[in-house]
Amino acid sequence: MELPTYFADFLKDIRPTLNQREEMKTGHTTLRDRLRAHDSLKEIYVSDFLQGSYRRSTAVRPKDGNRSDVDVVVVTNMSEAEYTPQQAMDKFVPFLIDHYKDKWKFQGRSIGIELSYVDLDLVVTSAPSEAEVEKLTSKSVRYGGDIEAEPDWVLSEFWLPSSERNVYMDEAVRKGTLNPWKLDPLRIPDREAEEWDNTHPLEQLSFTVGKNKACNGHFVNIVKALKWWKRINTDLPKYPKGYPIEHLIGDCCPDSCTSVASGVTETLEEIERKYKEYADSKTVPFLSDHGVPLHNVFHRITGEDFQAFHAEVEKAADTARNALDEQDKQKSVAEWRKLFGTKFPEARSGGGSGGSGGSSGDTKSGGYTERTRQGSIGEGSFA
């Protein structure tokens, strides 16, 4: 059974809390304001924007006392011919000492800032082409919300947040007539490899927005649900995790999903089918990064880890299919709880078979009691 209100409650309990979302917003807004104002950066600063699961609405709630995290990209005019990756990061040391003393550290491809309430990743880029500077300073790039807040976001010169549009602009956004931009990848420093590397977070975001529309708004919630499955499954290897998992889900999730339940089930089944031969031979598939086609997002994963991951996907696919096809509400809920753990709500007393279709497990039919509390899958601007 699809059990939409059960999934709504489940998603509400695995997305960051309202307080955590406010902390993430405070953390990134303060960092971005400080970047724009600091004297030592005025000669190199071009723009900044958000990337990562926070921006894509695919973040799940931290566990075991961990903090939420937000990624901020700062676009600079530093030339790769003049700055090594380390020298580029060093340009931010005066800023970091002034605002985040004893709270920051260099990482391989970013600068980590650890606050008491949120972790921030500051990603530095080299200079973009002159033709793209204006695009990178547009409101569509610098917008600070997420997909659930503005599901019609598009990378375009004319896009504005809904609160700033007039009726004609709102109609153009809804009709999709804003002529989206295509940008080149940005270049970020890799200190360990001592080289600059391509990245395209805005293309990743564009893919997620498009996929979410194709999936009737369910895609970002399917990602959250499967990230939670990955997090609580102790039999899974450490890798793949994070964005590689999200990318894999995007490649395998069918368009026109009717629900989160069906999307989760069909995505797991497609991963199992599509990559079985890779897993059997301990071969890692090549998943071409959005906007950087020569970059394999699975490049850090071993064949052994992929085989172990695929084996758990097979088990999860069977469990999800049993849960989706089961017509007894209590039995269906029990199967979903096997997959997602105790965050998935328990069935209310009363039992009953329920009919077919998404609402059968959530209405007063088949002899069981209607749920008295319903969550909202789209709740929160910063999921």
CB 61 within 8 A of CB 152: no
pLDDT for 359 equals: 36
pLDDT for 173 equals: 83
Q: What is the dotted CATH code of the domain comprising 4-343? A: 3.30.460.10
- What is the four-CA torsion angle of 232, 234, 236, 237, rounded to 10 degrees? 120
Residues serving a catalytic function are 69, 71, 121
Q: Hey, how many other C-beta atoms are within 10 angstroms of the C-beta on 311? A: 15
Instruction: Provide the H-helix boundaries in 107-218.
Output: 130-136, 139-142, 167-175, 201-214
Show me where the domains of the chain are located. 4-343
Task: Please give the average pLDDT of every successive group of 10 residues along the chain, which has 383 residues.
Answer: 97 96 97 98 98 97 89 98 97 98 97 97 97 94 94 92 89 84 96 95 97 97 98 95 97 96 98 98 98 96 98 98 97 98 88 38 35 39 33
* Residue whose pair of structure tokens reads 């650890």 in the numeric block: 114
What six digits make up the tokens of 324?
Answer: 């989706």
Contacts 24+ apart (CB under 8 A), 90-99: 91/40, 91/41, 91/44, 91/124, 92/41, 92/122, 92/124, 94/38, 94/40, 95/34, 95/35, 95/38, 95/40, 95/41, 98/38, 99/34, 99/38
CB 20 within 8 A of CB 381: no
What six digits make up the tokens of 235?
Answer: 């039999």
Minimal CA–CA distance to 217: which of 263, 175, 165, 265? 263
pLDDT for 366 equals: 33
pLDDT for 364 equals: 32
Q: How far apart are CA 3 and CA 332, in angstroms?
A: 9
